[in-house]
Amino acid sequence: MTTPGPRQQRLTMRDLAAELGVSHAAISYALNGKPGVGDETRARIIEAAGKRGWQPNIAARALAGQGTGSIGLVLARGADELARDTFYLRFIAGIQSELSPRGLTLTFQIAESLESEIDVYRLWAAQSRVDGLIVVDPRLDDPRPEVLHALGTPAALVGGREHAEGDIAVVGADDGSPMAALVQMLVARGHRRIAYVAGPADFAHAIVRADSYRSTMTEAGLIPLSVMHTRYGADEAADAWRMLRCEDPTAIIADNDQLAVAVLGSARADGVAVPEDLSLVSWEDSPLCEATTPQISALWRDPFALGRRAAAAIIAEITDHASEVIAIEPAVLRDRGSIADAAPSA
């Protein structure tokens, strides 16, 4: 495998504005063909940018033979797992809805692990396969921002990061506040033994949610139950349920729809009724939550809109080098039939 050399410094609009002694807005207007800047200044900006290899539009770069016109997405998930994951299917549809009108394509690949995902990034960089990347599932001590910085590959990170790292734009979600609100709602309905069946222990969002769960339980004067981390598999959810039975939870928060449905099935198999004996909430909503009896209450955050935001972020990063944090609307609880007040004895 060819290893790319040291990262080349990319020209930013701020660099060019400082060099020419003009405003950032003037640079943007001139390079994107918009009114608002004089002809002489426009010509000077375009000439200076051309000497530095600037191309303001990735579709234009592709037509000029200087880019691929493609955005990359690699998911470190099994094919079977992805086939069941309606969140990412809708997320990808949202990305496509933003790219297609611009004549851009999505280059998509599944990887077996985080290490394999990084190998794909290196290969794509060596082959100049994509103009930028959408990166998902931020990890604890995530190695990908540093790798992408070294490769010089523009990227947008989708996840609950509070600030951008280097040249990576962030489409950020608040995972702590919705978890706190869920726990507070269940406590208000009389629940004292609330459990959390979480996602992978190295996923940043699962860590933030788990920390929020524990701190909110403690603030309410309650003892947090065990946090059961999974890789989102149904068998793992069933195992988590069996391990939690000894703690006798009256409410469970599951990290996504697949985990919630698996917990529901396991509870029923043990003769535990939902919501009479156990209240259940999913952290992600999907049609799967409405296909069960009872329907599962869930937090709703539009994956399609998230995909569009991610695509817009990477386009802005490539065209304007706008490494900024884009906030996602707070998740909203869709209360269906799987939540009830705790029994008085609970």
Share of the chain above pLDDT 90, in %: 58
Check whether 5 has a pLDDT greater than 50: no
Give the containing element (helix H, strand E) for 126: helix 114-127
**189-215 per-position pLDDT tens digit:** 999 999 999 999 999 999 999 999 999
If one compares 18 and 108, the residue with the highest pLDDT of the two is 108
Sheet holding 325-327, edge to edge: 105-110, 70-75, 132-136, 155-158, 168-172, 325-327
63-173+303-331 shares its CATH topology with 176-300: yes
Q: Is the pLDDT of residue 1 over 60?
A: no
CA distance 268 to 296: 14
Q: Among 54-58, 81-85, 192-196, which stretch is predicted with the lowest mean pLDDT?
A: 54-58
| Residue 155: DSSP 8-state | E
Measured distance CA(264)–CA(251) in Å, rounded:
11
pLDDT band at 55 (very low <50, low <70, confident <90, very high): low
Burial class (CB in 10 A: 0-12, 13-18, 19+), 49: buried
**For residues 334 and 298, is the Cβ–Cβ distance under 8 A?**
yes
Higher pLDDT pick, 57 / 317:
317
Name the band, by pLDDT with cuts 50, 70 and 90, for residue 6.
Answer: very low
Query: What percent of the chain shows pLDDT beyond 70?
Result: 87
Q: What is the mean pLDDT of residues 274-285?
A: 97
Mean pLDDT of 319-345: 84
Mean pLDDT of the chain: 87
pTM above 0.85, yes or no: no
Mean of the pLDDT values across residues 158-169? 63
| 63-173+303-331 topology per CATH | Rossmann fold (3.40.50)
Residue 45: which of 27, 62, 24 has the closest Cα? 27
- Binned at pLDDT 50, 70 and 90, residue 346 comes out as low
Domain 176-300 sits in CATH at: 3.40.50.2300
| Phi, psi values for residue 158, rounded to 5° | -100, 115
- Model confidence at 18, in pLDDT bands (50, 70, 90)? confident
Give residue limits of the domains in the chain.
13-54, 63-173+303-331, 176-300
What number of H helices and E strands is found in the chain? 14, 12
Instruction: Indicate the helix (H) or strand (E) that contains 198.
Output: strand 194-198
What is the number of other CB atoms lying within 10 angstroms of the CB of residue 290?
Answer: 13
Which residue, among 175, 12, 18, 148, has the nearest Cα to 72 in the 3D structure? 148
Output the pLDDT for position 120.
97
